[in-house]
């Protein structure tokens, strides 16, 4: 899982470096697929439940599961990329939200709060804790900052399957649910909205957008719980 996680991290880092005004998400998708091939990994999402692409690309008000397309990114946009691979039988899964050129200060605040909420959640991925400590860490970080937690999508266990038990909501009271143990691997992924928490699905059957059309951010890491604390497998 370390090897799979490092491939995900390296490819996401490469994609991040390409993001600028004028670039299309279709180009990023093609690059992700080529890089998988070069590393003898397979894109985890392509074909998953019929999803047709290597990356999920979700600009601006799109929350998750967006389709790459040929529309050029514009200065001031934000772009969430969710990406996973399978390598030698194991999955890695990670997501980042990246500014396109200069973004507004309040947009930067959304990205910062979402990234920080993931860090706070990861700190709770320790033996002896309970699953909902992770959930609570996200909610209690972003809501006081004026942002809202998407309810319809959640983090998940990961291993030989992309989505394994347990589901990991990004909200809830602490000290509930399964006890966390060394050896568990979790994909923790806050999806945070600037406005209302509600989402709707576009006619493509996949793309989730915010109900109010305001921005949404998404960060994810695959995290192993060890006796020495959390190990982030999808960090370079
Ligand atoms: Mg993901
Ligand atoms: Mg995931």
Domain ranges of the chain: 2-232
**84 Cα: distance to centroid of ligand 1 (angstroms):** 6
Torsions phi, psi of 100, nearest 5?
-100, 105
In total, the chain counts a number of residues equal to: 236
What residues does 178 pair with on adjacent strands? none
For residues 118 and 190, the answer to whether their CB atoms sit within 8 Å is yes
Q: What gap in Å lies between CA 33 and CA 53, rounded to an integer?
A: 9
**115 Cα: distance to centroid of ligand 2 (angstroms):** 15
The average pLDDT across 124-137 equals 98
Burial 84-102 (b: 16+ CB within 10 A, else e): bbbbeebbbbbbbbbbbee
Token readout for 70 is: 């040929």
The average pLDDT across 75-79 equals 98
**Rounded to two decimals, what is the model's pTM?**
0.98
What is the tens place of the pLDDT at every residue in 212-224?
A: 999 999 999 999 9
Angle at 98 between CA 218 and CA 204, to 5 degrees: 60
What is the tens place of the pLDDT at every residue in 138-174?
A: 999 999 999 999 999 999 999 999 999 999 999 999 9
What is the tens place of the pLDDT at every residue in 36-47?
A: 999 999 999 999
Confidence of residue 133 (pLDDT cuts 50, 70, 90): very high
Provide CB contacts within 8 A for 174, sequence distance 6+.
130, 132, 133, 135, 136
**114 Cα: distance to centroid of ligand 1 (angstroms):** 15
**13 Cα: distance to centroid of ligand 2 (angstroms):** 17
The one-character DSSP state at 10 is H
What is the tens place of the pLDDT at every residue in 82-111?
A: 999 999 999 999 999 999 999 999 999 999
What was the pLDDT predicted at 26? Answer: 98
Token readout for 112 is: 């910062």
CATH number of 2-232: 3.90.230.10
């Amino acid at each position: 899982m370390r090897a799979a996680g490092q491939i995900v991290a390296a490819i996401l880092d490469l994609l991040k470096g390409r993001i600028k005004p004028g670039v299309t998400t279709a180009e990023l998708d093609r690059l992700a697929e080529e890089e998988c091939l070069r590393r003898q990994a397979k894109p985890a999402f392509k074909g998953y439940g019929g999803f047709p692409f290597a990356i999920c690309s979700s600009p601006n008000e799109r929350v998750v599961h967006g389709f790459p397309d040929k529309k050029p990114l514009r200065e001031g946009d934000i772009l969430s990329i969710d990406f996973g691979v399978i390598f030698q039988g194991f999955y890695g899964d990670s997501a980042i939200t990246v500014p396109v050129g200069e973004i507004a200060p309040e947009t930067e605040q959304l990205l910062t709060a979402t990234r920080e909420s993931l860090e706070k959640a990861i700190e709770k991925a320790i033996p002896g804790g309970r699953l909902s400590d992770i959930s609570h860490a996200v909610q209690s970080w972003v809501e006081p900052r004026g942002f809202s937690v998407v309810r319809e999508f959640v983090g998940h266990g990961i291993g030989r399957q992309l989505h394994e038990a347990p589901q990991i909501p990004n909200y809830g009271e602490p000290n509930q649910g399964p006890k966390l143990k060394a050896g568990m691997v979790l994909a923790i992924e806050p999806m945070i909205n600037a406005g209302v928490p509600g989402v709707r699905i576009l006619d493509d059957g996949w793309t989730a957008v915010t109900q109010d059309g305001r921005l949404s951010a998404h960060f994810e890491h695959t995290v192993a719980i060890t006796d020495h604390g959390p190990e982030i497998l999808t960090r370079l």
